[in-house]
């Protein structure tokens, strides 16, 4: 029975989906069938934290370029036109793109193989980015997630490439945008929006470490979404009063909201939060400077669909009014069940 199940492609996909990257690589070496099935999971998220591996991923992608003239400095000893394509169509599997790792690796390649003057470096980076996007377009890549964890620099011409309408189909299906750094490249995110992808974050939006970030831009990005389902704000030291109205703008579709390690100093009453009555999950954890006046609007909100709430506050002194609301909501939820 087990052998019959392991010959079923759908069963294999269900298994491989939950394996670690290392275990997926091991499965790829078992036999031809395993390799064909698991390769789509391995190359769905090819970029990791290893620069050496990311450079190898890019060099595999370069083999799919239509115009290989820009790669001549890298392959000056061999003809790029005679190099055979890989066995699998690796670009077509791409679902999650780590933009930070992509640009860091591109810059590493340029520093190693191309002239070092700033103008030629910027020009070549722009050419490589356009060639990559053209290749993604040709292989019908439709990204599901963008992840930004490290700080990286982009010249204005490289950012401009992302604004072109012809690339909008690559980004239109994005369901999750995760930003885990301070001072992230807001111009790049705005460029993705300008490409016609107003729906760049359809379902999930996670923002971490907003210490020195332009909060007004984050607020407008949240407001621009159509049908945001899940939002997580983590480590926000200021400006939450600008983000709460943006959250209210998504009240019709927002179901899951997490506000973790947020400073509410001088924040107005949470009427915008109370307006999100379709929430099913609300976590207000590790909060600073919460006052009874802020919490008061929550007492009058019905939240009929609420299934999970949490106001745990181990890092700071909790607000008695917030605890009282939490207990009353828990009693209401238990009574409804």
List, for residues 44-89, the tens digit of each pLDDT value.
Answer: 999 988 888 999 999 899 989 887 777 766 655 445 555 667 788 9
Helices (runs of H) and strands (runs of E) counted in the chain: 15, 8
- Domain membership of residue 116 (yes or no) is yes
Domain range enclosing 10: 1-42
| Residues in contact with 232: Cβ distance below 8 Å, sequence separation at least 6, in sequence order | 204, 205, 206, 207, 257, 258, 260
Could you tell me if 106 and 228 lie in one domain? Answer: yes
- Domain membership of residue 313 (yes or no) is no
Could you tell me if 90 and 237 lie in one domain? Answer: yes
pLDDT, position 298: 93
pLDDT, position 188: 65
Could you tell me if 26 and 49 lie in one domain? Answer: no
- Domain membership of residue 2 (yes or no) is yes
User: Low-confidence residues of the chain, pLDDT below 70?
Assistant: 1-7, 72-84, 114-119, 150-158, 180-214, 315-316, 337
- Domain membership of residue 106 (yes or no) is yes
- Cα gap 202→188, rounded to integer Å: 18
- Taking only the tens place, the pLDDT of each residue in 123-170 is 788 888 888 999 999 999 998 888 877 666 666 666 777 777 788 888
Residue 236, classified by CB atoms within 10 Å of its CB into exposed (0-12), middle (13-18) or buried (19+), is buried
- Domain membership of residue 181 (yes or no) is yes
- Domain membership of residue 303 (yes or no) is no
- Domain membership of residue 328 (yes or no) is no
125 close to 140: Cβ distance less than 8 angstroms: no
CA-CA distances (angstroms) from residue 20 to 26, 42, 96, 139, 241? 10, 10, 15, 26, 40
Could you tell me if 114 and 9 lie in one domain? Answer: no
- Cα gap 312→86, rounded to integer Å: 51
- Domain membership of residue 218 (yes or no) is yes
Task: Give me the torsion for CA of 84, 87, 88, 89, rounded to 10°.
Answer: 20
Could you tell me if 181 and 78 lie in one domain? Answer: yes
Could you tell me if 73 and 33 lie in one domain? Answer: no
Paired residues of 98 in beta bridges: 147
Q: In what order do the strands lie in the sheet with 204-208?
A: 96-98, 145-148, 176-180, 204-208, 230-236, 256-262, 281-285, 308-310
pLDDT, position 178: 76
pTM over 0.85: no
290 close to 322: Cβ distance less than 8 angstroms: yes
* Domains identified in the chain, total number: 2
- Cα gap 110→308, rounded to integer Å: 49
Q: Which residue has the tokens 């107003």?
A: 198
């Amino acid at each position: 029975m087990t052998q019959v199940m392991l010959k079923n492609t759908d069963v294999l996909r269900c298994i491989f989906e939950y394996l670690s990257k290392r275990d997926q690589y091991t499965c790829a070496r078992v036999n031809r069938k395993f390799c064909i099935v698991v390769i789509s999971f391995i190359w769905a998220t090819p970029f990791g934290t290893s620069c050496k591996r990311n450079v190898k991923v890019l060099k595999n992608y370069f083999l799919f370029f239509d115009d290989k003239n820009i790669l001549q400095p890298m392959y000056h000893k061999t003809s790029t036109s005679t190099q055979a394509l890989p066995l699998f169509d690796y670009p077509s599997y791409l679902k999650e793109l780590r933009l930070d790792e992509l640009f860091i690796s591109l810059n590493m390649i340029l520093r190693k193989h191309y002239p070092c003057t700033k103008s030629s470096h910027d020009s070549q980076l722009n050419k490589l980015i356009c060639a990559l996007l053209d290749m993604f377009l040709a292989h019908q890549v439709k990204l599901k997630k963008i992840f930004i964890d490290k700080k990286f620099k982009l010249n204005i011409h490289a950012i401009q490439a992302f604004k072109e309408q012809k690339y909008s189909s690559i980004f239109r299906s994005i369901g999750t945008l995760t930003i885990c750094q301070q001072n992230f490249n807001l111009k790049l995110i705005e460029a993705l929006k300008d490409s016609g992808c107003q729906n760049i974050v359809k379902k999930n939006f996670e923002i971490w470490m907003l210490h020195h970030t332009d909060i007004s831009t984050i607020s407008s990005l949240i407001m621009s979404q159509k049908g945001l389902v899940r939002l997580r704000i983590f480590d926000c030291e200021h400006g939450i009063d600008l983000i709460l109205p943006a959250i209210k703008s998504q009240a019709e579709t927002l179901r899951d909201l997490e506000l973790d390690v947020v400073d509410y100093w001088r924040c107005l009453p949470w009427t915008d939060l109370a307006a999100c009555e379709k929430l099913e999950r609300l976590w207000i954890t590790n909060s600073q400077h919460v006052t009874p006046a802020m919490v008061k609007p929550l007492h009058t909100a019905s939240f009929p669909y609420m299934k999970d709430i949490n106001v745990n506050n181990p890092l700071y002194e909790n607000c008695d009014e917030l605890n009282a609301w939490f207990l009353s909501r828990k009693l209401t939820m238990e009574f409804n069940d």
